[in-house]
Amino acid sequence: MLKKTNRPKKVFISVDMEGVCGVIRWDEVSASQPEYGHFRKLMTQEANAAIQGALDAGAEQIFVRDAHGTACNLLPDELHERAILIRGWSGGPLMMMEGIDESFDAAIFVGYHARIGSENGILQHTITRRLYNVSLNGRPVPELGINAAIAGYFRVPVVFVSGDRAIIEQAKELLGMREYVTVKEGVGKAAKNIHPHLARKFIREGVRRALERFDQFDPYLPERPFRFTLDFVEEEAAIRTALIPGAKQTGPRTVEFVSAEWMEALRFFALATYLAHHIR
């Protein structure tokens, strides 16, 4: 049997919180609430499981992007020492993928959740709860779709996703064959959760399997031109967003933006979601 030498050298891990095993309520993911401390620890443990899985597959460099809320959720002193942690928001367009570039071999998504409007989606939303739909090229997408396209822009494939059943089904529709781990399943506002120990075990094993064949997965990037359609909860958000050069208000709460360049489209999306989120 030939010894495999094509191992991933550099791996990017984006970690959100709503899709972490056990999390089902907004106060569990909010830094101002008493339950938050326990669940940020679970988030850190799932990140560590992914890191260990990457190491098991032979990864040499691992970067972890804290991608939830303040982007300061993962506990630095409890995160695996082999990982480089990216904390805080720079204000740049890469958002939940801050730090990724063409030098990475693979991207991994941990703790991800479904898009707004999903049946049985746990804590469903897309970037901000001020949006009730985000479409890219006419197709409703979760945050995973935007982030996979960012990775794809740098020719980096997403090889693994963990989260609730709703996001796993959406990821399969967008990305096709990858490694997936479902840690919980929504039942209305309730959820059926596996044990966190098992979630971490399955994440570690799934990441290892994914990275052992990372070169079999293609990067994801929608076809040009890139067309964002944003449907806002408040009309004011649409009016403000339409002030962005190139944006067009197509309905009372709907704004569209089209560009042949992905980074230009992404800059629009980042600014639009920022404006919506900061409406008082």
Closest CA to 40 of 4, 73, 64: 73
Active-site residue flag, 197: no
Helices (H), the chain: 36-56, 143-153, 165-175, 196-212, 235-241, 262-277
Whole-number Å distance between alpha carbons of 268 and 93 = 8
What is the C-alpha separation between 115 and 141, in angstroms, rounded?
A: 6
For the beta carbon of residue 209, count every other beta carbon within 10 angstroms: 15
Taking alpha carbons only, the member of 147, 92, 116, 124 closest to residue 231 is 116
Q: Which two tokens stand for residue 192?
A: 């059926």
C-beta separation of 31 from 99 below 8 A: no
Instruction: Identify the active-site residue in 125, 195, 197, 277.
Output: 125
Distance CA 83, CA 64 (A): 6
What residues are annotated to the active site? 125
